[in-house]
């Protein structure tokens, strides 16, 4: 197992947990979770454009035109996550928001694995995986009660 990648991913998750908290505070000042999401995504775009010369790849129209129709869904989903975090984190609290978000991600990922979505290798939904997903749901219930 690539332990360095696991460690950095955990660190990224810990930092990511602050995004809806920050966006909720910004939303109080701006007055709208959608405006807050636009601000956050604008800052993200500026950072990505600054990193682009060092990262390779291409944003040329002739390359972008070859992408499948569903390639835009990543950006659309990102807007939902950023705006949803700004709106729901103050209602649910950061911990419950993230337990629900991660639980939803795990359910969605398990389905994507099961059907081999977007070119993923198929990994069947085994009884062990189902038990793990149920435990995540139970974890969300326990976080909510706490």
Going from N- to C-terminal start, the domains of the chain cover 3-145
> What mean pLDDT comes out for the span 37-60?
93
> What mean pLDDT comes out for the span 17-39?
94
Grade residue 17 by pLDDT with cuts at 50, 70 and 90. Answer: confident
Residue 96: the pLDDT is: 86
> What mean pLDDT comes out for the span 108-120?
91
> What mean pLDDT comes out for the span 70-98?
91
Quote the CA–CA distance of 41 and 44 in Å, as a whole number. Answer: 5
Grade residue 88 by pLDDT with cuts at 50, 70 and 90. Answer: very high
Is it the case that residue 146 has pLDDT exceeding 80? no
Residue 1: the pLDDT is: 65
């Amino acid at each position: 197992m690539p332990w360095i990648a696991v460690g950095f991913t955990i660190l990224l998750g810990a930092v990511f947990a602050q995004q809806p908290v920050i966006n909720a505070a910004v939303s109080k000042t701006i007055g709208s979770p959608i405006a807050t999401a636009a601000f956050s995504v604008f800052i993200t775009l500026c950072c990505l454009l600054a990193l682009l010369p060092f990262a390779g790849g291409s944003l040329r129209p002739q390359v972008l035109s070859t992408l499948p129709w569903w390639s835009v869904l990543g950006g659309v989903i990102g807007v939902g996550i950023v705006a949803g975090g700004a709106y729901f984190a103050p209602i649910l609290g950061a911990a419950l928001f993230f337990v629900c978000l991660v639980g939803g991600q795990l359910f969605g990922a398990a389905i994507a694995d099961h059907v081999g979505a977007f070119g993923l290798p198929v990994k069947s939904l085994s009884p062990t995986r189902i038990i793990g997903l149920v435990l995540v749901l139970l974890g969300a219930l326990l976080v909510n009660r706490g």
